[in-house]
Amino acid sequence: MPRWDDAPMVGRASELARLLASVDRAAAGRASTVLLAGDAGVGKTRLLDELTARAAERGVRVLTGHCVDLGDVGLPYLPFVDLLRPVGDEPELAPNSTKNPVLAALLAGRPVAPPPVDLPVTTESRDLSRPLPHRAAPQPADDGRLQLFESVAALICELASSGPLLIVLEDVHWADRSSRDLLRYLLARLSDEPVAVVASYRADDLHRRHPLRPLLAELVRLPGVERLELAPLPDDQVGTLVRRLSASAGSLPQSVVDDVVARAEGNAFYAEELVAAGLHGEALPMALTDVLLARVEQRSQGAQQVLRIAAVAGRRVRHELLAAVGELGGGELDQALAEVVHHHLLVVSDDGRYRFRHALLREAVIADLLPGERVRLHAAIAAYLAGAPGTGTAAERAHHARESNDLPGAFSASLEAADAARRVGAPAEQLQHLEAALALWAAVPDAADRAGRDQVALLVETAAAARMVGELQRAVALLRSALRVLGPDGEPAARARVHYTLAQAMVRVEDVTGAYRESAAAMALVPAQPPSKERTWAAATHARMGYSVGAMEEADRVAEEALAAADALGFDGAWSDIAVTQVRARPGGDPAAVQARLDEALARARRSGNVEVEMRVLYNLATVAFEDGRIAESLEWTRLGTRRASDLGAEWSYYPAELRHLQVTALYMTGDWDESLAEADVLARVPEMSAHVRADGLLVLVGRGDPSAHERIDWARSLIPRLNAHILLDLVTAASEIDLAACEGDAQKAVDVALATNDRLRQEWDDDHLGVLRLAGTALAAVGDAAAAARRDGDEATVDRWVRAGQQLLEVALSAIEVYERNYGATMGVEALAWQARVVAEASRVRGEAAVELWREAVEAFGFGHVYEQARSRWRLAEALLASGDRAAAAREAELAHEVAVRLGAAPLRTAVEALARRGRLDVAGVRTVEVSAVMTPREAEVLRLLAAGRTNRQIGAELYISEKTASVHVSNILAKLGANGRTEAVAIAAQRGLLPTG
C-alpha cells in the first residue's frame, strides 16, 4: 500500500501557494521566512517535500537540515551540519572553509561544540520592530561564535549570489540552543539576500516553558517573517487521501472510509496508520499507539492518572468528576491538570470541560489500561453519575454500567437513552441504544419488567428506528427475529403485524416476491370480519404488493376492502396509504382526479400523525408532477418533504431519501447544477441504501468534465454488488459511466455498460425498465461518433460493426417501450418520451443520416424543462443542419447550445459546440473562428487539404508539383503546429479547429 507521502498531495494547495510565494519573493531579491507550525503527523514534511520539488523545478537551490530529538545530550549545530553537508565538497567554497576551523568542521559534516555561553544581543537589535535600511544582526559575545556565525552567513550569501536559495529546517522544536542562536542571527543578517527560509515545528510539543517559544515570539516581529499554521485536513480531503492510500489494495467500503476520516480528525499520518489497520484487522496500530503513548509516559504520575480517568470518562470530562473519582487532592489535581493542558494532551472546551486534543490519544490511553483497572474506573464513574442527578446523560450511564459489567443497569439506561433520543428526533441514536438493549435482553432476568414491553415489541420498535435512518436490511433482519421469537404458535394479531411490517421493509430492498409472500401471510392470520387495525393494514400492504407482482385483480379487491375498513374505523393513515397505492397502480388517470386524491391523502396522513405515510404521499405528489413535466412544482414538493424529514431527523428513511434523489435530479434538469451537486453531497454520512443520492452528483460532475467523476463512479460501482438489486444506484452510475465513456471516445465501453445494465434492469423490473432509454440514447451518441470517424477514414468494416452495435442498442430501447406499453398502455412520462425521440435521432446518426426533423423532435421533446439534454440535442441538430447546408439555422441552434454550456460550466458540450462552429465556420457569439492563414502558410494549407483527402506524400507532391521529400517536410511542419502524433490525428485536430473546408 502506498504511503501518504508517496501519493499526490491532498488538500494543501493554499498553504503550498503561500510557501511558493515566499520563495518567489526571495527569488526577486527580498529575503523571506516562514515559520511552519502544525501538530505531529498533520502533513508538514509532505508539504515541505512538495515545496522543495517545486522550488527545484523553478531553478532554486534547496538546502535542508533536520533537527533530531536527542534529549539533554543534543549536538550543537546539528541541523546546520545536515544542511551544509552537501556543499562541503564544492571546490569553489574551499577558501572560505579554511578561514574558520569551526565552519570547516561544519562543512566536513562534523558536529562542533563551541563554549556554552549565552547569546546576548545589542540594545539596538532588541528593537526588532524598528525598520532599518539594513538590519543589524544580533551580535554574539566574543566567544568564538561571532566568527562562526558570520562565516556561515557569508557562505550562504555566496551560495545565493549564483541564484536564489531555499533553506528548509525541519522540526526546530528539537533544535539545540546553539542552533536556535544561529537561526536568530541568520534571519536578521540575511535581510537583503535572495534567500527563503522555512522552519517547521510541532505546535503540540510547545508547552509553556519550551525554549523555542520566546524565540518564535521574537522572530515573528522581524519584517519578512510570517507564521503559517497547518490546520488538520478537512474531512472530504482526508476521505480522498484514504481512497488513494487504499487504491492498490482495492476499493475500501464507504463505511471504512468514514470510520478512518472520523478517527483521524484531519491528521494524515493517523489516517495512513488507520488505513493499514483497517486492511489488516488491527483496532489501533501498534506503531501509532507507541507514538501517542510516548507523550503520555513523559508526564508525572498524577498527570497520567488524570489522563486515565479522562480517557475512561469519555471525550469530554468535568472537573467535578475528576475530583470525585480520582485519588488526588485539590492541589495535586490542579497541578496535574495544568501539566496535561500545558503539554497539549488535554484542552479546555468552551463549556469548561476537559477534552483530549485528539481522539486517538484517548484510544491509546484506554488500550494501555489493564482490564481490571478499566472496569474499576467505569464502575466508579457509573456510581458517581448515578449519585449525582443531572451530571450525566442516560447514554453515559448506560455506557459506564455496561463496561463495569452492571448489565441490568446498562439495560435500563439504554432504554432511557433511546427514549430521550426519540423525543429529540434523533433516530440514529435511538437505534443505537435500542440495539444495545436488545443485546442485553437475554442477560437480564427481569428484562420485560424493566422495559415495560416484551421482546417482540422491542424488536419491532428497533426495526422502525432502523427504517427511519435508512438501514433497511437491518430492519428486515430485526423483523425476522421478531417472527422467530413469536413462533408459529404466537398470538395471530401480533404475528400479522410483524408479517405486514416485514413486507413493507422487504419491498424497499427490491424483494417484491418476498414482500408479497409476507403480506399474504399477514392476511391469512386475521379475519376480514370484524374489521380491525391489523386486518386493515394487512390488506393495505397486500394490495401494494399485489400490484407490484402483477396480481392486479386480487390487489383491486383487497384495496377496496382496506379502503372501506379504514374509512369505517377512522384510520386516516391507512386510508392515505391505500389511496396512494391505487393512484400509482394504474398510471395515466385523469390528472385532476389524481391530484385531488393525493391532496386528500396528504391531509389525512397529516391528521393521522403517521409520518411514514405522509412522506409517501409527498413523494408521490412530487413524482406525479415530475412525470408530467412540471419540474418546478415537483421541486416545491421535494423541498417541502426534505425539510419535514430534516425536522424529524429522518433524512435517510426511504421516502425522504427518494425525495432528495428526485430533488437532485430535478435541479440537474432545470440547470441549477451548483445546487444539485450541493444537495447530492448535503450530508457527509449516507446509508448505503441511499447511496444513489450521492451518486446523483455524478450527473453534474460528468457534465462538467470534472476529473473527480472517475473516483465517484468507482465508489458507486464498489457498492452495487453488495447492495444486490439497487436499481436506482445502478441506473445513475451506468448513465454516468456511459456519458463519460462517450466524452473520452470509448464507444465500446459505452455499449458494454448499456447492454449489461439493461440485462440487470430486465431481471429486476421486468414490467417497467424505461430507464434503459437514457442508457441506449447516450451510448448511441458514442457509437455515432465512432461510426462517423470510421466513415471519414473510409473504414467500411468498422462502420458496419458500429452500425450493428447501434441497431442492437435501438432494439433494446424499443423492447423496453414495448414491455412498458403492454403493461401500462401509452402512459410514458415526458422524460421517457424525450429519450425515445433522442434514441431514434441518434440511431439515424449512426446510420450516417442527417435526419434534421428527428433532431428537431428531440429538441422539442426535452423542452419540458431538461435544459442540458435540450442543449445537447440542439448541438446535434446544428450538426445535422450544417450537413444539409442550412448554415444560418445551424448557427442559431449552435449558439443556443453554446449559451447553455457556458452557463452550466458544461465543458465537454462547450468544447464540442465550439469545434462544430469552427469546423463549419458558423457565426456563433463567444466562439472565435481561427483563420487557416493565421496558423498555416499557403503551401501548408494546400498540403493539409490534401492530407484530409487521404493523399500520400507522393500524391501530394505530384498534385502540387513538389518533390515527395518537400511534401514530407510540409507534413511534418503541420503535425508540429497542431501537436499531432500522426496524419489522421492532425486532420481530426484541424477539423475540430475549423482549419479545413466544410466540405
Lowest mean per-residue pLDDT among 4-13, 122-131, 205-214, 312-321: 122-131
Q: What is residue 686's three-state secondary structure?
A: coil
Tell me how many degrees the CA angle 292-296-302 measures, rounded to the nearest 5.
Answer: 160
* Residue 537 reports pLDDT greater than 90: yes
Contact (CB, 8 A) for 658 and 696: no
Burial class (CB in 10 A: 0-12, 13-18, 19+), 827: middle
| Cβ neighbour number for residue 57 with a 10 Å cutoff | 8
Per the listing, cell 382526479 goes with 593
Inter-axis angle of helices 359-368 and 301-313, nearest 10: 110
Amino acid at 613: V
**Reading across the β-sheet that carries 61-66, which strands appear in turn?**
61-66, 165-170, 195-202, 32-38, 225-229
* Residue 127 reports pLDDT greater than 90: no
Eight-class DSSP state of 174: G
Rounded CA separation 829/626 (Å): 8
Buried b (16+ CB within 10 A) or exposed e, 616-630: bbbbbbbbbbbbbbb
Contact (CB, 8 A) for 783 and 813: no
Percent helix, percent strand, percent coil in the chain, to nearest 5:
70, 5, 25
Residue 523 φ/ψ, nearest 5 degrees: -60, -35
Distances (CA, A) of 814 to 264, 765, 810, 829, 835: 51, 16, 6, 16, 11
Buried b (16+ CB within 10 A) or exposed e, 240-263: bbbbbbbeeeebbebebbbebbeb
Rounded CA separation 705/740 (Å): 8
Per the listing, cell 538590519 goes with 135
Percent of the residues in the chain that have a pLDDT greater than 90, as a whole number: 38
Residue 196 φ/ψ, nearest 5 degrees: -110, 135
The per-residue pLDDT for 267 is: 73
The per-residue pLDDT for 75 is: 67
* Residue 500 reports pLDDT greater than 90: yes
* Residue 556 reports pLDDT greater than 80: yes
Rounded CA separation 777/158 (Å): 68
Residue 926 φ/ψ, nearest 5 degrees: 85, 0
Ranges 90-94, 104-108, 159-163, 684-688, most confident: 159-163
Burial class (CB in 10 A: 0-12, 13-18, 19+), 294: exposed
Q: Grid coordinates representing 22?
A: 515566499
Contact (CB, 8 A) for 502 and 518: yes
Rounded CA separation 523/470 (Å): 27
Please count the CA atoms within 13 angstroms of the CA of 202 that sit on its side-chain side: 20
Rounded CA separation 527/516 (Å): 18
Please count the CA atoms within 13 angstroms of the CA of 409 that sit on its side-chain side: 17
Rounded CA separation 535/529 (Å): 9
pLDDT tens profile 180-231: 888 988 988 887 889 999 999 888 777 777 888 888 888 888 888 999 988 8
Rounded CA separation 482/560 (Å): 30
Which residues lie closer than 8 Å to 654 by C-beta, 6 or more apart? 467, 470, 472, 508, 615
Amino acid at 790: A
Ramachandran region, residue 169 (left: φ > 0; alpha: ψ -120 to 50; beta: rest): beta
Closest by Cα among 887, 879, 892, 889 to 851: 879
The per-residue pLDDT for 724 is: 59
Lowest mean per-residue pLDDT among 31-45, 445-459, 540-554: 31-45
Tell me how many degrees the CA angle 57-61-62 measures, rounded to the nearest 5.
Answer: 95
Confidence of residue 580 (pLDDT cuts 50, 70, 90): very high
* Residue 808 reports pLDDT greater than 70: yes
Per the listing, cell 452557463 goes with 903
Distances (CA, A) of 459 to 174, 392, 466, 474, 480: 58, 27, 10, 11, 9
Rounded CA separation 296/884 (Å): 79
Contact (CB, 8 A) for 381 and 313: yes
Rounded CA separation 764/754 (Å): 16
Ranges 341-355, 847-861, 960-974, most confident: 847-861
**252 or 295, greater pLDDT:** 295
Confidence of residue 118 (pLDDT cuts 50, 70, 90): very low
Eight-class DSSP state of 284: S
Write down the pTM of the prediction.
0.65
pLDDT tens profile 61-71: 999 988 876 65
Contact (CB, 8 A) for 643 and 660: no
Spell out where 725-869 has E strands: none
Rounded CA separation 14/824 (Å): 56
| Cβ neighbour number for residue 615 with a 10 Å cutoff | 24
Rounded CA separation 839/775 (Å): 9
Rounded CA separation 926/514 (Å): 58
Q: Grid coordinates representing 781?
A: 451518441
What's the whole-number mean pLDDT along residues 240-251?
66
pLDDT tens profile 589-641: 788 999 999 999 999 999 999 988 999 999 999 999 998 999 999 999 999 99
pLDDT tens profile 381-439: 888 888 777 777 888 888 888 888 989 989 998 998 898 888 877 788 889 899 999 99
pLDDT tens profile 849-894: 989 999 999 999 999 999 999 999 999 999 999 999 999 999 999 9
Closest by Cα among 367, 91, 79 to 198: 79
Q: DSSP states of 871-882 as a string? A: HHHHHHHHHHHH
Helical spans, DSSP H, in 487-571? 492-506, 512-525, 533-549, 552-569
Closest by Cα among 544, 537, 511 to 523: 537
